[in-house]
Amino acid sequence: MAPKVKKEKATKIAPKTDKTYIAGAGLTVEQPIVRTLETNYMPYAMSVIVSRAIPEIDGFKPSHRKLLYTMYTMGLLSGGTIKSANIVGRTMQLNPHGDAAIYETMVRLSEGYQALLHPYVKSKGSFGKAYSRDMAYAASRYTEAKLAPIAAELFADIDKDTVDFVDNYDSTLKEPTLFPVTFPSILVNANTGIAVGMASSICPFNLAEVCNTTIEYIKDNDINIADTLLAPDFPIGGQLLYNRADIEKIYETGRGSFKVRGVYTYDKQQNCIDITEIPPTTTSEAIIEKVVELVKQKKITEINDIRDETGLQGLKITIDLKRGADPEKLIKKLYKSTPLQDSFSCNFNILIAGSPRVMGVKEIISEWVAYRQECVRRRVYFLLTKAKDRLHLLKGLQKILLDIDKAVKIVRETTEEKEVVPNLMIGFGIDEIQAEYVAEIKLRHLNKEYILKRLSDIENLEKDIADMESVLSSRNKILRIIIKELESVRDKFGQPRKTAIVNAEQDLAEQEEIEIDESPVTLFFTKEGYFKKITPLSLRMSGEQKLKEGDKITQTVEATNAHELIFFTNKHQAYKAKVSDFADSKASVLGDYVASKLDFEDGETPVYMVATRDYKGNVLFVFENGRVSKVSLSAYQTKTNRKKLVGAYCDKFALHSVMFKETEGDILLTSTNGRMLLVSSAALQTKTTRDNTGVAVMTQKKGQRIFEVQDYSAGLLPNEHRYRTRNLPAAGSFKPADTAEQLTI
């Protein structure tokens, strides 16, 4: 039965006694939240998606398009630069969102900012840097700009009806809905945006590779894109860790990620490292701050000083090393622990016909080719119409050539000006357009030489018209035009790759093991899932351990920073980490909440911690029904740095407890019926399959379950042989004084 929807109701506030009361004022209207969202929020959300955040197939958002088109109409493709404030002011005729937003758009498109592989704005003055958070751009009244040469490819034939134009916000000007770009600019320059409920993140690719790939796609739609489009290319350079399978997945689905790391050189004389290229997702300040933090935490001990030496030559972060420090090992630590190596996430979300779509590279190229075909077809049709109109006029002029004197006589003998065109039409059998053209010819041009020169164009026009009609009737000819234009763009603006490609698998194989601080620490793990790592010095000077109310310490482990950690959770999963991943703590703080630190799933909590150096030993999973699963710890060792292991233990039975035993020993099981069973872990078969169901150890009747599990040491129970058995499963034995006693659950 459908739920009842509360009817809208209005309560009226009593009007004031004066005569200024307006009817209906003060009404309070109640309506369902769903209707409020539909009427108020959805239009805003769609406006952000369609008109602001998501780029279209020409590679631009509306804010980019309005700025660049304004600069084009100002004639800034040629000549010198002009003040940015002038450009911003003119752009406000198309973009009413304020001068600050327009200027920020110009900054990002400029060559000075270095955010694009092929900037569309040639800049003069301080425009800041994409790789620096603190290097701000100067005010628009101080800087100057014009369009870069490659911007001509955005506006090619824009005045030949290649794209649609619409009114601006106040219907005083026209602006293009798209640019007739001659190359797939959507793939050449990076574009990111956050809309409502969706986002877009398109990485840049090398212009020459994009043009070559598009040409090959036009020739053969079944090509493998990864053969010609090698990998993304970033304006700041860096090294891309290349994995063919990951790249092909991104090319196919439009989603995925890859790693980019910085580039450095080592100055042996100065004993310093100079970082000159960094990933596109970070800034020089973020890297420096992270390095300083690691030095303060003593996770990195090889550094004397770090400073930003960025200047006119470009980015430069200098790290002074201590005497005897190994630069190779240090840089690997920095790659691992700082943004000097970072991931770039791809989400190729593009507006196609007003609707957002996540597409792979081949699909993007296909859509661009279809769009470009329409632009070329409209341009050819426009030129064809102009040529036919010109031919029509020249045909009329050709008839006049037969008797120029007659044409002059008709004009001279016509008494009224408005009768000139009709009389010419009658005298030579031409139409009104042709007669108007003849009537407008200057007297000085009424000679055979001038007219014969004009008539010589007829043959060329007829040939051009035939060629254009042939193009319009043949898709292959249109595609050949597109290929020719792509080759021209590639030859004029192509440049070598800036981002080097490094084989990720080979790099991983050659990477040496990073030296880790071997200093001893004490690990504390609590029932509520909090973790502390405390050094011996801090532990000696500390007082009582601070815990959350109701919490208690369940595990205390002596280890080193080189140990690895495995946290088993209540959802049959395991999360791996390293002791060095956690900062040193104190007894006076709660510590790290493991579920947040390792990004657990909702409702997932840690139940047990294992600290190991060599993955020797076994893990015992004791289930409430009396079964025990013994799994070798080596089953949780992985070659890659995977943090999450699913199926860490059996999910068919309710788990009571987890125990880690480096060597074989006895465990004491106690049931809710009061019976106890002493079992040697050596009697249990070790399994390599993590989620095995184990073996039945202690028999449980209906309503009974395991109550307690503990490590057993000799002498804990009198007559301990009474609680042992040769065969498993077994029911166990009662304590002599507790025979009739039932344990409370």
Task: Sort 699 into a burial class: Cβ within 10 Å, 0-12 / 13-18 / 19+.
Answer: middle
Question: Hey, is 669 helix, strand or coil?
Answer: strand
User: Which residue among 21, 41, 44, 142 is the active-site one?
Assistant: 142
Query: Are 407 and 400 spatial neighbours (Cβ–Cβ below 8 Å)?
Result: yes
Integer Cα distance of 729 and 669 in angstroms = 12
Contact 709, 641 (CB under 8 A): no
Token pair for residue 435?
Answer: 């007669």
Q: What is d(CA 77, CA 536) in angstroms, rounded to the nearest whole number?
A: 69
Closest by Cα among 56, 226, 204 to 130: 204
The answer to whether 627 and 696 are in contact (CB under 8 A) is yes
Residues 6+ apart with CB under 8 A from 451: 397, 400, 401, 404, 445
Q: Tally the residues of the chain.
A: 745
Number of Cα atoms under 13 Å in the Cβ half of residue 506: 7
State yes or no: is 335 an active-site residue.
no
Structure tokens at 126: 């301080």
Return the structure tokens found at 351: 């507006």
Q: Would you call 676 helix, strand, or coil by DSSP?
A: strand
Ramachandran sector of residue 654 (left: φ over 0; alpha: ψ -120 to 50; beta: rest): beta
Give the position of tokens 């005897």. Answer: 324
The strand pairing partners of 319, in sequence order, are: 273, 306
Q: Looking at this protein, which amino acid is placed at residue 103?
A: Y
The rounded distance, in Å, linking the Cα atoms of 303 and 624 is 53
3-state secondary structure of 184: coil
Query: Dihedral sign, CA of 183, 188, 192, 197?
Result: positive
Tokens of 119: 């900037």
The answer to whether 109 touches 151, Cβ cutoff 8 Å, is no
Q: Measured between alpha carbons, how far is residue 596 from residues 11, 50, 331, 369, 610 in Å? A: 48, 36, 28, 47, 18
- Helices (DSSP H) in 513-615: which residue ranges? 536-541, 594-597
Give the start-end residues of each E strand in 396-479: none
Terminal-to-terminal C-alpha distance of the chain: 43
The contacts of residue 387 (CB under 8 Å, 6+ apart) are 461, 464, 465, 468
**Catalytic (active-site) positions:** 142
